[in-house]
Protein backbone atom coordinates (compact mmCIF):
# COMPACT_ATOMS: atom_id res chain seq x y z
CA UNK A 1 0.00 0.00 0.00
CA UNK A 2 1.20 3.48 -0.75
CA UNK A 3 -0.03 7.00 -1.16
CA UNK A 4 -2.30 7.51 -4.16
CA UNK A 5 -0.31 10.43 -5.58
CA UNK A 6 2.90 12.32 -4.97
CA UNK A 7 0.94 15.22 -3.53
CA UNK A 8 2.32 16.01 -0.06
CA UNK A 9 -1.18 16.14 1.43
CA UNK A 10 -2.00 12.67 0.13
CA UNK A 11 1.29 11.38 1.50
CA UNK A 12 0.58 13.06 4.84
CA UNK A 13 -2.84 11.38 5.01
CA UNK A 14 -1.31 8.02 4.10
CA UNK A 15 1.31 8.31 6.88
CA UNK A 16 -1.35 9.46 9.31
CA UNK A 17 -3.43 6.34 8.57
CA UNK A 18 -0.38 4.16 9.06
CA UNK A 19 0.37 5.75 12.43
CA UNK A 20 -3.22 5.24 13.63
CA UNK A 21 -3.12 1.60 12.53
CA UNK A 22 0.01 0.71 14.53
CA UNK A 23 -0.56 -2.03 17.07
CA UNK A 24 2.96 -2.58 18.37
CA UNK A 25 6.28 -0.80 18.78
CA UNK A 26 7.81 -2.30 15.63
CA UNK A 27 5.01 -0.88 13.53
CA UNK A 28 5.30 2.41 15.39
CA UNK A 29 9.01 2.65 14.56
CA UNK A 30 8.27 2.11 10.87
CA UNK A 31 5.68 4.89 10.95
CA UNK A 32 8.18 7.09 12.76
CA UNK A 33 10.67 6.51 9.93
CA UNK A 34 8.02 7.43 7.37
CA UNK A 35 7.29 10.65 9.25
CA UNK A 36 11.02 11.44 9.43
CA UNK A 37 11.35 10.90 5.69
CA UNK A 38 8.34 13.13 5.09
CA UNK A 39 9.97 15.85 7.19
CA UNK A 40 13.19 15.58 5.19
CA UNK A 41 11.34 15.71 1.89
CA UNK A 42 8.84 18.50 2.59
CA UNK A 43 9.60 21.79 4.28
CA UNK A 44 6.13 22.25 5.75
CA UNK A 45 6.38 22.96 9.45
CA UNK A 46 2.62 22.76 10.00
CA UNK A 47 2.30 19.25 8.57
CA UNK A 48 5.53 18.13 10.21
CA UNK A 49 4.35 19.36 13.60
CA UNK A 50 1.01 17.62 13.13
CA UNK A 51 2.77 14.32 12.34
CA UNK A 52 4.89 14.77 15.47
CA UNK A 53 1.77 15.27 17.60
CA UNK A 54 0.07 12.23 16.09
CA UNK A 55 3.19 10.12 16.67
CA UNK A 56 3.49 11.27 20.26
CA UNK A 57 -0.16 10.50 20.98
CA UNK A 58 0.16 7.06 19.44
CA UNK A 59 3.34 6.34 21.40
CA UNK A 60 1.60 7.19 24.67
CA UNK A 61 -1.32 4.90 23.77
CA UNK A 62 0.99 2.03 22.88
CA UNK A 63 3.03 2.43 26.06
CA UNK A 64 -0.12 2.64 28.17
CA UNK A 65 -1.43 -0.58 26.58
CA UNK A 66 1.94 -2.24 27.07
CA UNK A 67 1.96 -1.54 30.81
CA UNK A 68 -1.55 -2.99 31.23
CA UNK A 69 -0.46 -6.42 30.09
Instruction: Give the pLDDT of residue 67.
Output: 82
CA-based R_g, the chain, Å: 12
> Would you tell me the crossing angle of helices 8-21 and 25-41 to the nearest 10 degrees?
170
Q: Has residue 61 been placed in a domain?
A: yes
Q: Has residue 3 been placed in a domain?
A: no
pLDDT in tens, 14-51: 999 999 999 999 999 999 999 999 999 999 999 999 99
Q: Has residue 49 been placed in a domain?
A: yes
The pTM score is 0.88
Q: Has residue 1 been placed in a domain?
A: no
Tally of domains in the chain: 1
CA dist 9 and 59 (Å) reads 23
Q: Has residue 26 been placed in a domain?
A: yes
Task: Look up the domain containing 53 and give its range.
Answer: 8-68
Amino acid sequence: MSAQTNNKYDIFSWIEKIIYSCENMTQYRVSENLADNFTKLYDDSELNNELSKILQTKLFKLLRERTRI
